[in-house]
Amino acid sequence: MSDRTPLMAGNWKMNLNHLEAIAHVQKLAFALADKDYDTVEVAVLPPFTDLRSVQTLVDGDKLKIKYGAQDISAHDSGAYTGEISGPMLAKLKCTYATIGHSERRQYHGETDQVCNAKVKAAYKHGITPILCVGEGLEVRKAGQHVPHTLAQVDGALEDLPAEQAESIVIAYEPVWAIGTGEVATPEDAQEVCSAIRKRLAELYNKDLADKVRIQYGGSVKAANIAAIMAKPDVDGALIGGAALDADEFVKIVRFRDQ
């Protein structure tokens, strides 16, 4: 048993406006008992426009739910229309910023180099990156999923000091399992998560690698989370569709009760 606290994070993607966000977080707060947070860390990753509302709710009611952004700019300020900076997210007391989600890589051309700059920008402002990596279907069919994913890890962590890398969260999200209902097997998840941990030991050291939380993401539901979490190198999940249903998300958080 590792002493890593699992992180269950709901990536809402482009869903739930700020009013819906308030209702949703209230439902989570109501359904989760204090003891749930002792064994599992719970986070929501809403759209930018919801963050202020979520912050107000979490602060006002002293909720233990953490929150973060789905992206972060590599720049601190300036002429970058449409972008949201680290200082802005830090001001909203975001704990996390998702970086390099496959949808950002696919639709917004984010490269490993861009991810690397964003990881550094997050740390500069005290925000913990949730770095997303994972292969598409063609790469998986060619049996290249491990080297492909490790190359993404290498690229995003380039020149990142150990003091920062030790707190990073890495989410292994095979693209073919995202939003498709086709979940990776627990063995698939373990294979890549353990390869990522070994790579962290090579890039840094074993102590650091043993501290880093590595999540699985891709069609996670209450019905499959327990089997995935039973694998030794899986330290939580990044949940898309199922996180939009508060009851389902709470069941995922309580995977140990199943």
Ligand X SMILES: O=C(CO)COP(=O)(O)O
Q: Catalytic one among 41, 101, 103, 135?
A: 101
Residues that bind ligand X (CB under 6 A): 11, 101, 173, 178-179, 217-220, 238-242
Query: In angstroms, what is the minimal distance from the CB of 131 to ligand X?
Result: 12
Kindly state the smallest distance separating residue 84's Cβ from ligand X, in Å.
18
- Catalytic pick from 41, 135, 173, 248? 173
Question: To the nearest whole angstrom, how small is the minimum distance from the Cβ of residue 177 to ligand X?
Answer: 6
Q: Which of 70/116 has CB closer to ligand X?
A: 70
- Asked whether residue 109 is marked as a ligand-binding residue, the answer is no
The phi-psi region of residue 186 (left if phi > 0; otherwise alpha if psi is between -120 and 50; otherwise beta) is alpha
Nearer to ligand X, 157 or 237 (CB): 237
Task: Give CA–CA dist 95/91, Å, rounded.
Answer: 11
236 belongs to an annotated ligand binding site: no
Q: What angle do CA 134, 136, 137 make, to 5 degrees?
A: 135
Phi-psi domain of 193 (left: phi exceeds 0; alpha: psi -120 through 50; beta: other): alpha
Task: Find out whether 155 is annotated in a ligand binding site.
Answer: no
134 known member of a binding site: no
Residue whose CB is less far from ligand X, 236 or 241: 241
In Å, what is the CA distance from 122 to each residue of 81, 176, 229? 19, 28, 27
Nearer to ligand X, 99 or 178 (CB): 178
**Least Å distance between CB 186 and ligand X?**
16
State yes or no: is 173 an active-site residue.
Answer: yes
Q: Confirm whether residue 11 is marked as ligand binding.
A: yes
Q: Would you say 152 or 219 has its CB closer to ligand X?
A: 219
Q: Do the annotations mark residue 12 as ligand-binding?
A: yes
Residue 211 C-beta: closest distance to ligand X, Å: 22
Binding positions are: 11-13, 179, 219, 240-241
Enumerate the active-site residues: 101, 173
Binding positions for substrate are: 11-13, 179, 219, 240-241
